[in-house]
Amino acid sequence: MPLISFVWVSTLAKRGSGISILSILCSLILSAIVFTRVWNGQPQHFQVHWFSVGSYHLTAGILLNNLSAGMILLVSGVAFIVHLYSIQYMRSDPYLRRYWRYLSLFCFSMMALVVVDNLLVLYMFWELVGFTSYLLIGFWYKRDYAVQAAKKAFIFNRIGDLGFLAGIMILLNQFGTLNITELFGDGGAISNAMIEDGVWISGTHQMPAVWLTLAGGAFFFGAIAKSAQFPLHAWLPDAMAGPTSVSSLIHAATMVAAGIFLIARIYPIFDQNILMLMVITGSITSFMAATIALVQNDLKQILAFSTISQLGFMMLAMGIGAYDAALFHLTTHAFFKCLLFLCAGAVIHQLEYFKQAAKIEFDCQDIRNMGGLKNYMPITFTAMLFASMALAGLPFTSGYLSKDSILLYSFDWASSQTGLMSLVPYLAVLTSLATTFYIARLIFKVFFGSFRQKQRIPVLEPPSIMKVSLMLLVLFCVFPMFSWNPFSVENSWILKGFSADVQVLSQSRLLHILVPLLVTFVSFALIYLASIVYSKRDGDGSVTQVARDSFIYELFYHQWFINKLYNVIFVIPLMYLSRVSSILDNKIVDGLVNGAGRSVLFLGALSTFVDRYIIDGIVNLLGSISKSIGNVTRHFQSGRVQHYMITMILLLLTFFIFKYFS
Amino acid sequence: MSVLSILVFLPLLAGLVVIMLPTAQQGRYKYIALGATLLQLLLSAFVYINFKTGADFSGVHQRRQFQFVEQTSWINLDLGTLGRLQIDYFMGVDGLSMPFLFLTSLVMFVAVLASWEIKTNLKGYFALFLLLDMAIIGVFVALDFFLFYLFYELMLFPLYFLIGMWGGVRREYAAIKFFLYTLCGSVFMLLIIIGLYFSVTDPLSGSHTFNMIHMMDPANYVGGSIFSPSAGQQLFGISARLLAFIVLFIAFAIKVPIVPLHTWLPDAHVEAPTPVSIILAGILLKIGGYGILRICYSIFPEAAIDSSWCIGLIGVVSIIYGALNALAQTDLKRLIAYSSVSHMGFVLLGFASLTAEGISGANMQMISHGFLSAMLFFLAGVIYNRVHDREIANFRGLSLLMPKFTAFCMVAFFASLGLPGFSAFMGESFSLIGAFTSESVNGLIPRWMAIGGSLGILLSAAYFLWTFQRMFFGELRLMGGEDWRIQLTDVNTREKIALIPLALMATLLGLFPALVFEKMNSSVLELIRLVNP
C-alpha cells in the first residue's frame, strides 16, 4: 500500500529542503494515485490490531473514501506548492533545517489525520497537527509575540481538544468502539441507535438522550477551536506571527480546515440542536470576522480574518445540511486563500528587501505603507487579483461556484425556518458583500495608487520559483478546474463526489438566478466604491475619517474586544486562583503540617519541662530529702566510743524514767 | 534462588562491595552502582520478556497464577497457646507489579547516572542508594505482608539520610518532614497488619498468616475475628474493615500523594539531590499507587467500592489543585513537584472508576509519569548543577545557548502535558475514559468527575507552555550574566545516555501502549472481578 510508505517518507524527510520537497512530491504523486483509485469507487479500509484495554479492542487503520481521498490530494497538493514556494521564501533563514523538519512533520500529521479510521488515532494526529502548528508559529522564537502567539494557539486548540476527548469518551462508552466505519458507516452503530423516551439506546448500552446532543456538541466544540470559529477564533489572527508560507499552508488551507473535515467525517452524530448551533456559530463568525477585516491594516491580519470568515461559511453550510457545498467551498478556499497568502508573502518578502536596500524603517505588513505595487510586481498582482476575485465570489472563478452554492442552500434552508433563523441567508449575503469590499480595499491599497515610500528604488518581482508556485495556484482559482459550466454548481464534479446524490438546488428557479445576479452586481458596485476611496494616494480619505471616530469602527478595529474579554474573564481569574491556591497551600495546608510539627515540638518541650522540673524534681527531692536525713543521722555515727556510751546511758536513763513514771 | 531474589539482593550485594572497598577506591563506587543497576535492568527486561499473559496468568488473588514465585518458610515460631507465628519469604509477580520492576530498574539506572554530581562522602551515598534500590524492588515483589512492610519501612531509612545529608539548603527540615510524614502513615499500617494477622489463617496449616493472597480470600478469615467480612465488627462506630481500608489508604495516599497530604513532596523534591528527586518522583510515588491496588483494593474490596466516590473526588481535587499550584510556582523543581501531584490525581481517578480502562489507564499513567518525572527532574538537575539556581525567572532564551537541552526539555514537557504519541496521553485519556464509563458500567463515580479531571489536561498545557516560553524562548538573558553563559554548557554524553532511554520509553509506550496494556490486562480484569464481582 503506497500510503504507508509515503507517510514514512515524509517523517523521515528531516534533513533539508531537497529531501523534503522530494518526499512531498512523492506524497503528491502517491495520493494522486490513491485518489484516482478511490474517487467514486468503493471505500477502502485497512486496519491492524493496535491494543486492547479491558473489553475494548482498538484498531488503527486507514479508511479511504471520497472525503479522505479528496482531502489527501488537496493537502498534498497545497503542501507541495507551499514547499516549492518556501525554497525561496525561507532561503536566508538561519534555521532553515528546523523549518523543513517542522513542515514535514506537519504534512505527515495532516495527511495521517485525513486518512485514519479511528477516532482515537484521529485525535492523536489532531493534537499533533496543533503541536506542529505551535512549533511553526513560534518558529522565530526570539520574538516574544511569536512565542506568545504560539502558546495561545496551542492552548486554544487544547480547549477544543477537551471537547473532542469528551466526545470520544461518550462514544466509547455508548458503542464500545471508535472505528469510524463501525460508528458512522451505513448501518453503523449511530444509525442503529435510537432514542426512546428520552433514553439513547444502542444495543445493551443506554444513556440519557441528552448525551447524544452533548456528544455532538463536544465534537463540534473541538471543531470550532481548530477551525477558529467564534468564540474560540482568537488564536488564528495571532498565529500570523509565523512565517507567511506557514500561515498559508497551515492557517489558511489545511489545518484550520481540519475542524470542518472532522464534522464531515462524523456527520451522522450531529442532531438538530447541534446543527442549529453550527448555523448560528457559522453566521456569527463569518459576519464578525468580515467586519473586523474591513478595518484592519496589517496585510496578514486581513487575510486571517478573511479565513475565519470563510470557515464560518463552511460551518454554516454544514449546519444547514449542505455537507457537499461546505466541502466544495473548503476545497476552493484552500487554493485561493493559499494563493492570497503566498502573494502577501511575496509582497512582504520583496518589501523586506526593499527596506534593506533603501535603508529605511517601516512596517512591511502594514497596507498603509504600500500602494502602486502593480507596476513593480505585475505577476504577483495578477495572481493576487485572481485569488481576490475568487474570494469575493465573482463569476468565472472557483469561489463563485462554491460560495453561491452555499448561499443558495441557505436560502433553500431558510424557507423552511421561521423567526430569526430565516434571516441567516441575508446575513450571509451581507457577509459576502463585506468580503468583496475588504478584499477590494486590500487590493487597491496595496497595488493601486502610488507607492507610499519616498525612495525610488524599484521593488522587484519575487524570484522565479515563487512565481511558478503562484501561477500553479492561479489555475485552481478559475472555474474549469471544478466545473465546466461557470454558472452551474450542480455540474461540479467535487460536489457530486462528496454527496451521494446532489440535492436539487432549483427548488425555486427564480431565486437560483436572482441571488447570484444580485450579489455579483452589488459586488461590482462595491469594488467601484472601494476603488474610489482607496486607490488614491492618501487612501484613507474623508469618507473613512468620519467612520474612524465611531464606536463601530473601534469595535471592529479591536476585533470586537474579544481578546480583552478573554483576558478579563479567564486569564486574570485563573492567575489569581493559582496564586490563591498557592498561598492556601503554603500557609494553610503546609501550615497545618508545620503547625502539627511545631505543636509536637511544643509538647516535647512541655514534657521536657515536666520531666526536668516536676518528675525529675520529685525524684531529686526524694534524693535530697534522704540525703539530708542521711546528713542528720551521719553525725550520730561519729565513731567515738565515749559518745556512744553517753547516748546509750542517756537512752537507758530515758527508758527507765519513762518506765518509772508510767 | 530465582530471578526475583537476585533482582532484590543484587543491589545489596553491590552495596556491600561498596562498603568493603577502601575509600581510596571511591572513584569506582559509581561504576559499581552503575553496573549493578544495569544488570538489574537486564534482569527485569528478562522478566518482562518471559512474563506470560493470558487468563491463566492473571494473578492478583490466585496463588497459582503468579509467576517467578518463590516461597519458603522464613520465621516459624511455636508460640504455644497462641499458635504458630508464620512468616513466609514469599515473592512473585503478576501483571500489576511486573511493569513496575522494569520502571524501577530503568529509573535507578538513570539515577545512578545523575549521581555523578555527588562529590562528598561517596561511600555512604552509594551504600545507602543501593540499599534503597533493594528495598524498592522488594516492595514490588513481596507477597507476604510482613515482608512487604519490612521493605516498605526499609525504604525510609536510606531516603532520610540521602535527603538529609546530600540535599540542598533546607535539607534537614525536608528530610525530617518527609520521614515523619511517611512514618505517620505506616505506623498505623502496622496495627492493621497485626489485626489482619490474627484474623486470617492459612487454609493448609491452620495457623495465622501474613500471606497477602490468603488475606484476599474471605474464606480464610476466622469467624468473629476483627476483620472478618462476615462478622461485621465495629470500631469507633464504623465498620472495622472500612476503618482498616481508610488507614491503609491514607498510609499509601501520603506516598502518592493526595491533596491535602502532599506538602512533604515539594519540600522533599526541592531539597533532595537530583538522583533522589528522580527516585522520589519516578518510583516512590508509584509505590503508593501500587499499594492501594495490591493491598487496599484487594484485601478490602467492599470498602473500596464504598469509598470510591471519595477517592474519585480526591483524584479530581488533586488534579486541579496541583495544576493550579504548579501555575503559581517560580522554582522549576517545585513546579515539577506540583505537576506530579496533579498527574498522580489521574491515577486515583482511574482507580476509583474500577473499570478496566480506568485501572489500566491509571497504571499506564504511573509508569509514564515514572519515566517523565524522572526525565523532568534530571533536566532540572542539569541546570541546577551548572549554575546552582532553579528560579524560572532567572533564565531566558536558553534555546540559543543549549539547543540539545532544549530539545530534551521539549520532549519532556510536551510528553508530560499529554501530547498524543507520548505515554502520558494514553495514561490520562484512559483514566478519564474509565472514569467516564464508570457511571454506566458500575455506577461508582459520576461523569462530571471525568470532565473535571480533563480540565487538568488544559491547565497542564498552560503551566508547561508558560514555563517553556519563559525559560527557553526570547532573547538570551541570564541572571548570572557572563559567568552563567560559560557555565551553561549543553548536555554531555553521560546526560544523553540517561535522557535518551527515558524519552524513548515515553514515545514507545505512547505509540504502542499494548506493551503495557496487554501485559497487565488479564490481571486488571481479575482485580475488577475480585473487587466488584
pLDDT per residue as tens digits for the range A474-505 = 777 766 656 555 555 555 556 655 554 444 44
Is residue B520 within 8 Å of B99, Cβ to Cβ?
yes
Q: Is the pLDDT of residue A70 over 80?
A: no
Q: A582, B458: Cβ pair inside 8 Å?
A: no
State whether residue B482 sits within 8 Å of chain A by CB.
no
Q: Which of chain A's residues have a Cβ under 8 Å away from the Cβ of B330?
A: none
Whole-number pLDDT of residue A1? 44
Q: Look at residues A162, A330, A159, A365 and name the one whose alpha carbon lies nearest to residue A252.
A: A330
How many Å lie between the alpha carbon of A594 and the closest alpha carbon of chain B? 9
Of A13-22, A444-453, B149-158, B224-233, the least confident: A13-22
**Res. A134 pLDDT band, cuts 50 70 90:** confident
Q: Which three cell numbers, joined as nine digits, stand for A497?
A: 463526489
Give the residue-averaged pLDDT of B368-372.
91
Whole-number pLDDT of residue A321? 76
Q: Which of chain B's residues have a Cβ under 8 Å away from the Cβ of A138?
A: 473
Q: B473, A575: Cβ pair inside 8 Å?
A: no
Residue of A nearest to B428 (CA): A165
Give B451 or A174, the one with higher predicted confidence: B451
User: Which residue in B328, B433, B472 is closest to A172 by CB distance?
Assistant: B433
How many Å lie between the alpha carbon of B63 and the closest alpha carbon of chain A? 22
Q: Which of chain A's residues have a Cβ under 8 Å away from the Cβ of B425?
A: 124, 127
* Mutation for A interface: B419, B426, B511, most A CBs within 10 A: B419
Q: B436, A173: Cβ pair inside 8 Å?
A: yes
Is residue A228 within 8 Å of A305, Cβ to Cβ?
no
Q: Which residues of A125-198 form beta strands (DSSP E)?
A: 194-196
User: Which residue in B321, B360, B454 is closest to A54 by CB distance?
Assistant: B360
Q: A154, B399: Cβ pair inside 8 Å?
A: no
Helix-then-strand count for chain B, H and E: 23, 4
Q: Look at residues A74, A4, A64, A479 and name the one whose alpha carbon lies nearest to residue A249.
A: A74
Number of Cβ within 10 Å of residue B164's Cβ equals: 18
Q: B325, A585: Cβ pair inside 8 Å?
A: yes
Q: Is the pLDDT of residue B148 over 70?
A: yes
User: Which residue in A144, A169, A205 is closest to B450 by CB distance?
Assistant: A169
**Res. B201 pLDDT band, cuts 50 70 90:** confident
Q: Which of chain B's residues have a Cβ under 8 Å away from the Cβ of A172?
A: 433, 437
Is residue A274 within 8 Å of A242, Cβ to Cβ?
no
Residue percentage of chain A with pLDDT more than 70: 74
Q: Which of chain B's residues have a Cβ under 8 Å away from the Cβ of A206?
A: 440
Give A436 or B250, the one with higher predicted confidence: B250
Q: Work out the end-to-end distance of chain A between its first and last CA atoms, rounded to an integer number of angstroms.
A: 134
Helix, strand or coil for residue B470?
A: helix
Q: B440, A131: Cβ pair inside 8 Å?
A: no
At A255-289, the pLDDT tens digits run: 888 888 888 888 877 877 788 888 888 888 888 88
Give the residue-averaged pLDDT of A140-145.
77
Q: Which three cell numbers, joined as nine digits, stand for A453?
A: 515610500
State whether residue B327 sits within 8 Å of chain A by CB.
yes
Is residue B218 within 8 Å of B230, Cβ to Cβ?
yes
Q: B473, A581: Cβ pair inside 8 Å?
A: no
Q: Look at residues A285, A261, A278, A257 and name the one whose alpha carbon lies nearest to residue A321.
A: A278
How many Å lie between the alpha carbon of A346 and the closest alpha carbon of chain B? 27
Residue spans of alpha helices (H) in B478-513: 481-487, 493-511
Q: A147, B454: Cβ pair inside 8 Å?
A: no
How many Å lie between the alpha carbon of B87 and the closest alpha carbon of chain A? 35
Q: CA B216, CA B464: separation in Å to the nearest integer?
A: 42
Q: B429, A165: Cβ pair inside 8 Å?
A: yes
User: Which residue in B263, B429, B450 is closest to A589 by CB distance?
Assistant: B263
Whole-number pLDDT of residue A484? 55
Q: Is the pLDDT of residue A540 over 60?
A: no
Q: Which three cell numbers, joined as nine digits, stand for B120?
A: 562528598
Helix, strand or coil for residue B130?
A: helix
Q: One-letter amino acid identity for B184?
A: C
Counting one residue from A and one from B, how many pairs have CB atoms under 8 Å apart? 132
Residue of A nearest to B323 (CA): A578
Q: A128, B421: Cβ pair inside 8 Å?
A: yes
Whole-number pLDDT of residue A501? 45
Q: Which three cell numbers, joined as nine digits, stand for B246?
A: 481508610
Whole-number pLDDT of residue A23? 66
What mean pLDDT is reported for chain B?
Answer: 84
Identify which of A15-19, A315-319, B310-314 has the greatest average pLDDT.
B310-314
Q: Is the pLDDT of residue B1 over 70?
A: no
What mean pLDDT is reported for chain A?
Answer: 74
Q: Is the pLDDT of residue A557 over 70?
A: no
How many Å lie between the alpha carbon of B344 and the closest alpha carbon of chain A? 17
Whole-number pLDDT of residue A489? 57
Give the residue-averaged pLDDT of B399-423.
86
Q: B327, A578: Cβ pair inside 8 Å?
A: yes
Q: B474, A144: Cβ pair inside 8 Å?
A: yes
User: Which residue in A147, A169, A589 is closest to B433 by CB distance?
Assistant: A169
Give the residue-averaged pLDDT of A457-478.
71
Q: Is the pLDDT of residue A2 over 50?
A: no
- Residues contacting residue A620 through CB under 8 Å, at least 6 positions apart: none
Q: Is the pLDDT of residue B438 over 50?
A: yes
Which residues 238-277 of B are in CB contact (within 8 Å) with A? Answer: 259-260, 262-264
Q: A141, B356: Cβ pair inside 8 Å?
A: no
Whole-number pLDDT of residue A550? 65
Q: Which of chain B's residues have a Cβ under 8 Å away from the Cβ of A128?
A: 419-421
Q: B472, A148: Cβ pair inside 8 Å?
A: no
CA distances from B455 to A161, A579, B92, B343 (A): 11, 18, 38, 12
Q: CA B128, CA B160: separation in Å to the nearest integer?
A: 10
Q: A589, B259: Cβ pair inside 8 Å?
A: yes
Q: Which of chain B's residues have a Cβ under 8 Å away from the Cβ of A603?
A: none
Of A289-293, A482-486, A551-555, the least confident: A482-486
How many Å lie between the alpha carbon of A171 and the closest alpha carbon of chain B? 10
Give the residue-averaged pLDDT of A279-308.
82
Q: One-letter amino acid identity for A650?
A: L
How many Å lie between the alpha carbon of B52 and the closest alpha carbon of chain A? 16
Q: B356, A582: Cβ pair inside 8 Å?
A: no
Q: Is the pLDDT of residue A537 over 60?
A: no
Whole-number pLDDT of residue A472? 74
Handedness of CA A26, A136, A167, B365 (dihedral sign): positive
State whether residue B360 sits within 8 Å of chain A by CB.
yes
User: Which residue in A51, A161, A173 is closest to B514 by CB distance?
Assistant: A51
CA dihedral of B113, B115, B117, B118, whole degrees rounded to 10: -160
Whole-number pLDDT of residue A196? 62
Helix, strand or coil for residue A201?
A: strand
At A315-374, the pLDDT tens digits run: 888 888 777 778 888 888 888 888 888 888 888 877 777 777 777 767 777 777 676 677
At A399-442, the pLDDT tens digits run: 777 777 777 777 777 777 766 677 777 788 788 888 887 887 77
Q: B436, A585: Cβ pair inside 8 Å?
A: no
**Res. A56 pLDDT band, cuts 50 70 90:** confident
State whether residue B317 sits within 8 Å of chain A by CB.
no
Q: A582, B329: Cβ pair inside 8 Å?
A: yes
Whole-number pLDDT of residue B262? 83
Q: Is the pLDDT of residue B298 over 80?
A: yes
Burial of B507 (0-12, 13-18, 19+ CB in 10 A): middle
Give A127 or A550, the one with higher predicted confidence: A127
Give the residue-averaged pLDDT of B325-354.
88
Q: Which of chain B's residues have a Cβ under 8 Å away from the Cβ of A161?
A: 457
Q: Is the pLDDT of residue A67 over 70?
A: yes
Whole-number pLDDT of residue A535? 59
pTM for the complete prediction?
Answer: 0.84
Q: Is the pLDDT of residue A163 over 50?
A: yes
Give the residue-averaged pLDDT of B2-10.
83
Q: Which of chain B's residues have a Cβ under 8 Å away from the Cβ of A120?
A: 429
The domain limits of chain A are 1-155+222-266, 274-557, 565-661
- Residues contacting residue B171 through CB under 8 Å, at least 6 positions apart: B163, B164, B165, B271, B272
Whole-number pLDDT of residue A7? 52
Q: Is the pLDDT of residue A34 over 80?
A: no
Is residue A58 within 8 Å of A225, Cβ to Cβ?
no
User: Which residue in B361, B420, B475 is closest to A142 by CB distance?
Assistant: B475
Q: CA A59, CA B396: separation in Å to the nearest integer?
A: 43
Whole-number pLDDT of residue A5? 47
CA distances from A202 to A189, A507, A541 (A): 7, 37, 64
Q: CA A164, CA A216: separation in Å to the nearest integer?
A: 10
How many Å lie between the alpha carbon of B298 and the closest alpha carbon of chain A? 18
Of A389-393, B49-53, B390-394, the least confident: A389-393
Whole-number pLDDT of residue A201? 66
Which DSSP letter does residue B445 get?
A: S
Which residues 139-178 of B are in CB contact (within 8 Å) with A? Answer: 177
